[in-house]
Every structure is written in structure tokens, then in C-alpha cells.
Amino acid sequence: MSFLDRIAAKVTPAASKDDRAEARRKVKRRTSGEPWLAMIVEQHEKIERHFDEARNARDAKGRVDAMRALEKELTGHATAEEAIVYPVVSEDSGKTHAGMAYEEHAMTKINLAKLERIDPDSREWMEKLDHIEGAVRQHIYQEESSWLPDLVEKTSPRDKEVINRRFTEEYERYMGPPTGGQMSPGQSSPTSA
């Protein structure tokens, strides 16, 4: 973690593990009837699992493989949020929130690129991973505790339908369609037509 990052962490401390868990519980209760929100929260959980896999990998190859899976999930998720969700956040939660969200995504991408250039067997690699994870967990907390609940409350049903359909399209454009016959939250069953 850089000197400036350490100062920033002291001035604006991150949410506690308990605060994050409470925000997750609350936002999960709101996912009923909000498939777009359920998909976002599910992706947040996948991202958190990828961090755990990278941290717990037994060797450099395992860390790199887990980091690549993390990068892919974060990029697919961020692309969909930036294209579809954050413009609505700007209108229904606040332009400041949307601006922060875009900036946090950009910094995460920069830090992931830096992580790729660090020896995965080094202490520096793990410190950089910890730094990225802390920033991502704080970002997720901001979304789940405030920005996304604002959308549940303030966004019109029509706009939520658009978010649901388009978020799914953007995410799958990067990640590919779900495997194993699963349907995306934005898809309808062929028999329901």
C-alpha cells in the first residue's frame, strides 16, 4: 500500500466487516422482484470468492490463475455497471456517487495491471492484492448500502426492466452466456413467450 493510500485509509476508514455483512443482508432482502439487483449481488459474491482463491492459492501459478479469474469477473461486472447502472445511479442516487464509482473502477483496473507485474511469490504481491481487495470491498459496501437501494426506491419500473435486460447483455457480452442451461436474470423462458 502506498504512503498516500495509508493516509487516505486513516482519514476515511473503510467499513467494518460487520457493516459490510449488514449491508449485504439488507440488500439481499431487496432482491426479490429485482433480478438486476440479484445479479449484481451474486457477482459481488463471486468477486469476493476470487479474492479468497487468490489469497489461499498454494503457489504462484495458482495465484496467477485466481488473479486472472478475478480480473475477468471484475471487468465483466464493471463494464456492465459502467454502461448500464451508473448512468441511472447518476440520476437516481447522485452524480457524485456515479463519479466515484467510475473512478473506483478505473483505479481497480490500474492496480490489477500493476499486480500482474509483481512476482506472485513476493510479499509485495500479497500486499497489493490486499490493497485492491480493501478498495473493492469498500466499493461493494457503498453500492450495497446506499447506491443500489436508492435505485430500488427511486428508479421507475420501466427503467428497472431496461437495467435488467441491458445489464445482462453487457455482462454476457464480456463473460459469455451462462453455462449448463442456466438462464440469465434478464432472459425469459422459451415456453413463456
Is the Cβ–Cβ distance between 100 and 128 less than 8 Å? Answer: no
Q: For position 9, what pLDDT does the model report?
A: 53
Whole-prediction pTM:
0.85
Q: For position 138, what pLDDT does the model report?
A: 95
Question: pLDDT at residue 158 above 90?
Answer: yes
Q: Which tens digits make up the pLDDT trace of 28-47? A: 999 999 999 999 999 999 99
Q: Which sequence spans correspond to the domains of the chain? A: 21-173
Q: Which pLDDT band, with edges at 50, 70 and 90, does 180 fall under?
A: low
To 5 degrees, how large is the angle CA 14–CA 17–CA 22? 105
To 5 degrees, how large is the angle CA 170–CA 175–CA 180? 115
Question: pLDDT at residue 179 above 90?
Answer: no
Q: What is the mean pLDDT of residues 122-131?
A: 96
Is the Cβ–Cβ distance between 125 and 50 less than 8 Å? Answer: no
Spatial separation of the C-alpha atoms in residues 74 and 112, rounded to whole Å:
10
To 5 degrees, how large is the angle CA 168–CA 171–CA 175? 130
